A and B are shown apart, each in its own frame.
Chain A
């Protein structure tokens, strides 16, 4: 048994998701990601089940583990009670902890996610925040969103929201004490360490690639690169 396998075993989700795989392929058959990407949850389960660190390290450095949609459709259908989607969550955590996520194009995207979602949770108490969402980064929001954003306080008021105000209600301002508690939880449970690891490993990768890296925000060269780049080798023909 290898060191990487031992680390996976520490994750409850891995223990819950990896029981005994009979390689039947039911998960691949039901998987929406497998019908789009060069991806097979069955082969990931087969690799991990061998407890072979070489094979696991390849997964941690590769593209595949990042294709899963975490829909958990596989959990419902596995005849052996496995959950490949949960195993993927454990593999992704380990890939980030070990810095190996920067070896793949899809893995490198974690920097953009950390800055867009991770930081918004801490600064606003929400996973996403309307003021940050524009139709340049999110064109599918459509013209109705341009209209909403141009009149955000008025539209929110019209719909009974308590936008950016104290007290209860929709899109209220989350009070300072609550945000402090949230930060304390993130610190105590290791989320801030993970954020640091993602930034540091990404900074190194940016240096190696010769791409601008400012260490914050959503406009530096590295953010833009990982947010938009697609080398077109990921999908099925």
Chain B
């Protein structure tokens, strides 16, 4: 396609992202397994002088229950309608979800209401009956990474670090994993759609890194909901992630950037499992390929302390990346509590050097 043609087509792949006044819907996985990432997101929005409402009354969207099939669709629609009601009551119109599963489910609910208006009416009835609440449909639905993407230039301008090797100036090689439910279901709701999703690659490029393409780039991480939660099914989950690692390994990525809290967890933990089961380690120095969330990457660019962001909760150590980016950190402080409280250290895995 000629350049002019591309320029004409590209606007069709963009989505509207509100520029201020957000209502934040948190992620169960992030809150439980790496809470520092949500803390970091709010800190970044604070630094950008944005208004974001962190309402204690919102709950799980039920997404994991819905996709493990124990929560009926009507229930999920009504729980999400309750979140809209809370948002409406506080005068907000722009919903941000911190989780791709939530983002996919909120999108599915909104699209279902459009396609089958009677389902919206029924949901309103259910919500009224169960809670007495009423709601408006949000003007804007974004995933938290959309917001970081929208303000990537501002973050870059405020930044103290780049995604480059501080010793050589070389761009660091990064692979990205968008997460299936970001735009495979409803392409128009993701930046770049299903064909050219750039919510993460746009960050990597803006922060100075090089996006590395690889054959299994769009393959699912293998979460599969029931395929992970049930111990007997986990072979599927680890096999999918392994297929991705094998496919990306020849390109020697120095970082895996993730969009979805689940994908982050699997791409981090399955590297550890494969090292224990098969003695195979991806990445350099027997330390695996560091896996980051978009909040963590933006936080590093902004000069935040990695341990303040909770990067000690990763199983794959992030130090190889920090060293290349020239980020100073205190190794002694990694596993300390507040005010230097001694909490001991995790056991050393058999293969992985942490």
* Contact present for B64 and A127 (CB under 8 Å): yes
Known A-B contacts A12-B119, A73-B180, A118-B65; A185 and B54 likewise in contact (beta carbons under 8 Å)? no
Report the Cα distance A112→B344, complex, angstroms: 34
Interface-side segment among B87-95, B152-160, B202-210, B229-237: B229-237
Q: Find residues 156-195 in chain A having any chain B CB closer than 8 Å to their own CB.
A: 156-161, 166-172, 174-175, 177-178, 181-182, 184-191, 194-195
Task: Provide the residues of chain B in CB contact with A228, threshold 8 Å.
Answer: 231-232
How distant is the Cα of A181 from the Cα of B222 in the complex, in angstroms? 33
User: Whose C-beta in chain B lies nearest to the C-beta of A162?
Assistant: B56
- Are A130 and B33 neighbours in the complex by a CB distance under 8 Å? yes
Residue B199 CB within 8 A of the other chain: no
Given contacts A76-B184, A140-B234, A185-B130, 18 further A-B contacts (CB under 8 A): A33-B236, A68-B224, A71-B180, A76-B194, A113-B70, A121-B59, A126-B31, A141-B315, A151-B343, A155-B313, A157-B338, A158-B337, A158-B338, A159-B313, A170-B35, A178-B57, A189-B75, A189-B77
Find chain B residues with CB under 8 A from A227 CB: 230-232
A32 to chain B, nearest CB (A): 5
Contact B59 A194 (CB under 8 A): no
Q: Interface of B with A (CB < 8 Å)?
A: 26, 28-29, 31-33, 35-36, 38-39, 54-57, 59-60, 62-65, 67-75, 77-79, 82, 104, 112, 115-116, 119, 126-127, 129-131, 180-181, 184-185, 187, 194, 218-220, 222-227, 229-236, 238-240, 269-270, 272-273, 307-310, 312-315, 335-338, 341, 343-349, 354
- The stretch that binds B, out of A41-49, A50-58, A142-150, A202-210, is A142-150
Chain A interface mostly helix, strand, loop or mixed? Answer: helix
Instruction: Report the nearest B residue to A160, measured CB to CB.
Output: B39
A13, A93, A128, A190: the one within 8 Å of B28 (CB)? A128
Quick check: B337 and A155 within 8 Å, CB to CB?
yes
A121 to chain B, nearest CB (A): 6
Docked pose: A133 CA to B119 CA in angstroms: 36
Contact A191 B75 (CB under 8 A): yes
A229 CB, min distance to chain B CBs, angstroms: 6
Q: With CB as the reference atom, state the residue of chain A lying closest to B77.
A: A189
Nearest CB in chain A to that of B115: its residue: A16
List of A residues within 8 angstroms of B39 by Cβ: 159-161, 170
Cross-interface CB contact of A113 among B60, B68, B347, cutoff 8 Å: B68
CB of A99 within 8 Å of the partner chain: no
Q: In the complex, A51 Cα to B104 Cα: how many Å?
A: 29
